[in-house]
Amino acid sequence: MEKLAIKTLNNLKHIEGFSIPSMETQNLPERVLQFGTGVLLRGLPDYFIDAANKQGLFNGRVVVVKSTASGDLEAFKQQDGLYTHCIRGLENNNKIERDIINASISRTLSAADDWKEILACAANPDMQIIVSNTTEVGIQLVKDDKIDAAPPVSFPGKLLAFLHARYRSFNGNPAMGMVIIPTELIVNNGEKLASIVMELAKLNGVDQAFLDWLRAANHFCSSLVDRIVPGKLAPADSAAFIERHQYTDELLITSESYSLWAIEASPAIAKKLSFAGADKGVVIAEDITKFRELKLRLLNGSHTFSCGLSHLAGYETVRQAMDSPEIENYVSGLMFREIAPSIVSKDLSYEEAKAFGEKVLDRFRNPFIEHRWLSITVQYSSKMRMRNLPLLLKYYENTGAVPQAMALGFAAYILFMRCTEKNGVFTGNTNGKPYTIQDDHAGWFAEREQLSGKALVKEVLSNTAYWNHDLTQLPGFLDAVTGKFETLTRGEVSKAIKESCS
């Protein structure tokens, strides 16, 4: 069986739903420097760039930099940077199954082994864009990082060294500045990265002329990415793929069909991001707050309100729960009757929120992705505080009434978090089945394991040190959560949902 590579492209069968790149893509210039080899970058930015190249819109390829020491690049080298992207999803209740050979990557370099070659890319006048996903930990200031190291320790240090080499290569030409788009899951990630790079430049004692060029000629664009990219196919699906296409691929990834890359940029900068025209999933706007709010509240928030309840109902995955009419009724009611009205503003209409929520429901129903509820409960408490507390307070501000679905979500959260501690491990129990709780706030609950009923609910809701609010002061909220908590404690999950969604 052949392995995917340039030499095998001509031997592949043209099957419906299978996209094979033309050989011309191999001659496109390198226009993007990408820090990170992970599946999210390959499943989102690289996906859009490949699509744009195939439509003749961007006409540029990606030099990928592997920043970490773990792993190797052998698979990228053997496959000439090619990889298969299997898209599996649900749109308007229609199954989506497409296989794409992505040809956007020209070469992959190691920061540890190929640093001189990476810096040489700075002298390429075609280079315009830098993309990164080094995880949230990657965007940190390391004060003693040196840009003349080979390579610098941190990602901001590597980025600064590249920009400094760019500045010297073109004698400070302002037209040779770069558009830098971090995709790390940090609010205002572009602004944060820019401030760290600027501070690190000063700590490295660079001259004022470079600082001026760094500030004026380069554009750090905050961005938001949203796509589930689990990685490889399940073993059975992988075997079926090989049988269908007759090749193997060590770099194969799979993702849902939904995609969003919201980039905060001015119209002038947007012209350089011509790949945006290839797919409606790329949104360029001068303010992306609206997109962040939609994702945080309707996608992440509804996940967080629902995870404990779905676990208590006996469902292991999101898809299983959405196959249940009662859970789907709860989630849709939560979204459209309580969350969506709470995020409406002068910049975000209810119609926009509803349309986004409909797409979220399709994503939750995706039959191809096994998203486990217990994974979603990791750091449950902080997610409730950061994602959902503002929604609760806003709903009360707007209506003065108890949001019944949110109250049920809080009740399920409290019941899920009841736990005991042994040797630093926190264990909860549902219907005789133990589960491990991974939550920095679990110790607080373990200290109160003897409390139950209204006493426990009141203790949780009145914890102003954690919530920064006494939630028992919200009219009717304590009684509503207590009643639902007691119903759930008796194992009557269906009754609790019915009462909350009527």
pLDDT digits (tens, 9 = 90+) for 421-476: 999 999 999 888 999 999 999 999 999 999 999 999 999 999 999 999 999 999 99
* pLDDT 10s digits, 247-267: 999 999 999 999 999 999 999
User: What is the pLDDT averaged over residues 329-353?
Assistant: 96
Domain presence at residue 350: yes
Mean pLDDT across the stretch 332-340?
Answer: 97
Domain-embedded: residue 356: yes
Is the residue at 1 inside a domain? no
Both 348 and 221 in a single domain? no
**Cβ atoms 84, 252 nearer than 8 A:** yes
Q: Residue 96 pairs with which residues in a beta bridge?
A: 89
Residue 99 pLDDT greater than 80, yes or no: yes
User: Is 166 contained in some domain?
Assistant: yes
When pLDDT is cut at 50, 70 and 90, the band that residue 91 belongs to is confident
438: left (phi over 0), alpha (psi -120 to 50) or beta: beta
Placement of tokens 């009145």 in the chain: 462
CATH number of residue 134's parent domain: 3.40.50.720
Q: Are residues 260 and 348 in the same domain?
A: no
pLDDT band at 93 (very low <50, low <70, confident <90, very high): confident
Question: Do 356 and 264 belong together in one domain?
Answer: no
pTM, whole model, 2 decimals?
Answer: 0.89
398 and 495 both lie in a single domain: yes
Q: Last residue of a domain, which of 285, 301, 333?
A: 285
Q: What is the CATH number of the domain that holds 448?
A: 1.10.1040.10
Mean pLDDT across the stretch 62-90? Answer: 92
pLDDT at 501: 86
How does pLDDT run across 364-386, given as a tens digit for each residue? Answer: 999 998 889 999 999 999 999 99
Q: What is the pLDDT confidence band of residue 208, given thresholds at 50, 70 and 90? A: very high
Sequence-ordered list of residues with C-beta below 8 angstroms from that of 403, at least 6 positions apart, any chain: 338, 392, 395, 396
Task: Measure the N-to-C terminal CA separation of the chain; round to a whole number of Å.
Answer: 57
Enclosing domain of residue 35: 6-285
Q: What per-residue confidence (pLDDT) applies to 87?
A: 96
Interval 19-35 mean pLDDT? 95
Average pLDDT over residues 185-192: 94
Mean per-residue pLDDT over the chain, rounded: 95
Same-domain pairing of 224 and 320: no
Give 142-155 pLDDT, tens digit per residue. 999 999 999 999 99
Give the whole-number percent of the chain exceeding pLDDT 90.
Answer: 91
**497: alpha, beta or left, given left = phi > 0 and alpha = psi -120 to 50?**
alpha
Of 241, 261, 285, at which residue does a domain stop?
285
Same domain, yes or no, for 213 and 296?
A: no
Q: In what order do the strands lie in the sheet with 223-226?
A: 223-226, 260-264, 282-285
- Residue 393 sits in the same domain as residue 370: yes
Kindly give, in sequence order, each residue whose CB lies less than 8 Å from that of residue 489, ignoring residues fewer than 6 positions away.
415, 452, 453
Same domain, 37 and 117: yes
Which pLDDT tens digit goes with each residue over 403-423?
A: 999 999 999 999 999 999 999
Environment class of residue 380 by beta-carbon count within 10 Å: exposed (0-12), middle (13-18) or buried (19+)?
Answer: buried
CA distance 306 to 119: 48
Residue 71 predicted with pLDDT over 80: no
Percent share of the chain, pLDDT over 70: 100
pLDDT of residue 19 exceeding 90, the answer is yes
Residue 31 belongs to some domain of the structure:
yes
Number of domains in the chain: 2
Residue 168 domain-assigned (yes or no): yes
Asked whether residue 34 carries a pLDDT value surpassing 80, the answer given is yes
Taking residues 236-252, report their average pLDDT: 94
pLDDT (mean) for 335-356: 96
Please give the sequence-ordered ranges of beta strands (E in DSSP) within 183-273, or none if there are none.
219-220, 223-226, 253-255, 260-264
- Report the distance separating Cα 76 and Cα 502, nearest Å: 54
Given a contact cutoff of 8 angstroms between Cβ atoms, the answer to whether 34 and 132 are in contact is: yes
Q: Is 425 helix (H, G, I), strand (E, B) or coil?
A: strand
The DSSP secondary-structure symbol of 3 reads: B
Neighbouring C-beta atoms of residue 364, cutoff 10 Å: 22
Give all strands of the β-sheet with 179-182 in edge-to-edge order.
Answer: 105-110, 61-66, 30-35, 129-132, 179-182, 219-220
- In this predicted structure, the answer to whether residue 223 has a pLDDT above a threshold of 80 is yes
For residues 164 and 213, the answer to whether their CB atoms sit within 8 Å is: no
Give the separation between CA 86 and CA 364, rounded to whole angstroms: 18
The residue from 249, 270, 285 where one domain ends is: 285
Instruction: Assess whether pLDDT exceeds 80 at residue 342.
Output: yes
Q: How confident is the model at residue 131 (pLDDT cuts 50, 70, 90)?
A: very high
Give, for 33, the enclosing helix (H) or strand (E).
strand 30-35
Q: CB atoms < 10 A from the CB of 65, how many?
A: 27
Has residue 460 been placed in a domain? yes
**pLDDT value at position 1?**
85
Question: What backbone torsions phi and psi does residue 223 show, to the nearest 5 degrees?
Answer: -145, 160
296 and 252 housed in the same domain: no
Whether residues 341 and 454 share a domain: the answer is yes
The SS3 assignment for 282 reads strand
Q: Is 98 inside any structural domain? A: yes
Answer for the pair 2, 78: CB distance below 8 angstroms, yes or no. Answer: no
Confidence bin at 136 (pLDDT 50/70/90): confident
Residue 53 reports pLDDT greater than 80: yes
- What does the alpha-carbon distance between residue 370 and residue 18 come to, in Å, rounded to a whole number? 24
Q: Are residues 339 and 257 in the same domain?
A: no
Residues 293 and 231 in one domain: no
